[in-house]
Chains A and B, each alone.
Chain A
Amino acid sequence: MAYGFYFDSTRCTGCRTCEMACKDYHDLSTEAAFRRVFDYEGGEFVENADGTVTATTYAYHLSEACNHCESPKCFAACPTGAIEKDEDGIVYIKEDVCTGTGACVDACPFGVPILVKEKNKAVKCDMCRDRIAEGKRPICVEACPLRALEWGDLDELKKAHPDAVHAIAPMADPSITNPSVIINACPAAKEVGDTTGAVANEKEVTFA
């Protein structure tokens, strides 16, 4: 059994409540966010011969935390064995073993682990393991006012959402790590590897 997330991009309005609830619950500084909301935008306005304008512009949001991948690259890269994947599929960092080499930060194709200067350690989403142990859901899922996030057994999530895809832009190719995430793609959503759009809030979602 492996836990996973379901994200409904037809519902998400990009309000950041998931991100803020996570930051509040995990008491994160301005240097880190375990869940980030990407604004993906693109397209153009084309002026036609008759003076009218045709718009191909689009914008949508992607709320992404750690994907708790089936084959996590962070786990493979860590020299100290500080990253573990437990029997529930949760990928987490053992702080007492982490030396802060940043190997996981370099290796993760989703830019999930963050090196925090205050602690000199890498940190990332642990799917709220402590809450799950108490029988609760991750705080981001509980917080979403649009009910755009679900969490549970990945196989059951897949059964409940048969049309969901494994990734949308700007995520990395899911075949690299097999993320434990499925997504309901909104009509505007672009496929992985798309080059027509760009992340409009790059500074907000980048921690270096």
Chain B
Amino acid sequence: MFDGGFSATSLAVFTALAPAGAVAFACLAAFLLVNRSQSRDWRDVLAHLLFIPLAIAWAGFIASATHLGTPANALHAINGLGRSPLSNEVVSAVAFLFFAGMAWMYSYREKPKASVMNGLLAISIVCVIVMLFHTSFAYSIATVPTWDTWLTPANLCATALLSGPALATTVLQAARVRAGKWPYALLLIAVAALAAGTVLLVCHMNFLGTVGNNVTLASALVPNYGWLIAAHAALAICGLAFQLHGLRLATSRTRGPVFSVIGCAVVIIAALLARFPFYDAYLSVGF
């Protein structure tokens, strides 16, 4: 798995962490927008904790920057806006980080205006959707048939909808807010995304058996795809079970969040594991 994929490790980390952080941010922003009438104190606590998904998304972006051979030229990466899928991805990611960062910083204002905060949160949610779209389609390269399939965006979204809500659940619990059914609903989304994502991974694995070039069949590039899918599913199930257990221990002020944090970390590792075979499966139509 680390043969072909190692050079793409930074991209695997990026496409695992950035969507996780971004979707978690969107979930929390939606929670804040829906529960506008609640007392301000815990809203402030939660808004401060928006830092956690933001930091995880940042970690993903820093990982992707290590993929640039020459980070000093990084600004050139936006030259191809509109023309290059990669430039579109970078610009939409920067837009998300800008608005999400603004929302987080604005939460520290002594007398924040609700309208400004809600506006920033709403724009951030839109940015997350645009960013996910562009990240998915950055791999629609006509000369790489193993990536240029609807399974690529579908897989990326499934992974994001697994790890993002899982992370949001943990942040909600860490913030100790009365979130009602929200954490359970988020976990339910994660479970559904895991089920769909696992099926999509199996579809991609089978698809690789039908694609080849002059040199090799694509399935030969990822001989351990089946094991990776199994490990991904098993880890994610364990992680989500830990989180559910953490939620049920909500009466305990420390043990609950600890279980939730561990479970969330395991889910993110599971999401990362699902990204490696994708990069290993790079195959050009030519030699």
By a beta-carbon cutoff of 8 Å, the part of chain A in contact with chain B is 38, 73, 76-82, 96-103, 106-111, 115, 117, 119-122, 169-173, 176, 193-195, 198-199, 202, 205, 208
Contacts and interface: CB of A to CB of B under 8 A. Distances in A.
Given A106-B282, A111-B286, A79 B141 contact: no
Interface stretch (B37-45, B62-70, B114-122): B62-70
B286 A172 contact: yes
B74 A172 contact: no
B73 A98 contact: yes
Contact of A99 (B7, B69, B83, B143): B69
A45 B7 CA distance: 41
A108 B284 contact: yes
B215 interface: yes
B90 A100 contact: no
A202 B215 contact: yes
Contact of A173 (B68, B83, B285): B285
Contacts of A122: 69
A106 B142 CA distance: 10
A102 B74 CA distance: 13
B143 A97 contact: no
A77 B86 contact: yes
B86 A79 contact: yes
A181 B10 CA distance: 36
Contacts of A194: 214
Contact of A109 (B77, B78, B143): B143
Given A99-B68, A109-B143, A115-B69, A172 B284 contact: yes
A198 B286 contact: no
Contacts of B213: 172
Contacts of B87: 79-80
A172 B287 contact: yes
Contact of A120 (B69, B83, B144): B69
A81 B287 contact: no
B73 A99 contact: yes
Nearest to A121: B69
Given A106-B141, A106-B144, A194-B214, A97 B73 contact: yes
Given A101-B68, A110-B286, A115-B69, A80 B214 contact: no
Contacts of B35: none
Contacts of B285: 109, 172-173, 176
Contacts of A99: 68-71, 73-74, 76-77
B79 interface: yes
A122 B71 CA distance: 14
Contacts of B77: 79-80, 99, 101
B76 A205 contact: no
What 10 A-B pairs come out closest when comparing CB atoms? A100-B69, A172-B286, A120-B69, A109-B286, A79-B86, A80-B76, A99-B73, A79-B87, A109-B143, A81-B79
A98 B70 contact: yes
Contacts of B206: none
Nearest to B76: A80
Most buried by A among B4, B67, B71, B287: B287
Contacts of A100: 68-70, 73
A80 B287 contact: no
B80 interface: yes
A81 B282 CA distance: 23
A169 B141 CA distance: 22
Contact of B73 (A76, A80, A109): A80
Contacts of A108: 143, 284, 286
Contacts of B284: 106, 108-109, 111, 172
Contacts of B144: 106-107
A73 B76 CA distance: 19
Nearest to A40: B214
Contact of B143 (A107, A120, A205): A107
Contacts of A106: 141, 143-144, 282, 284
Contacts of B282: 106
Nearest to B91: A79
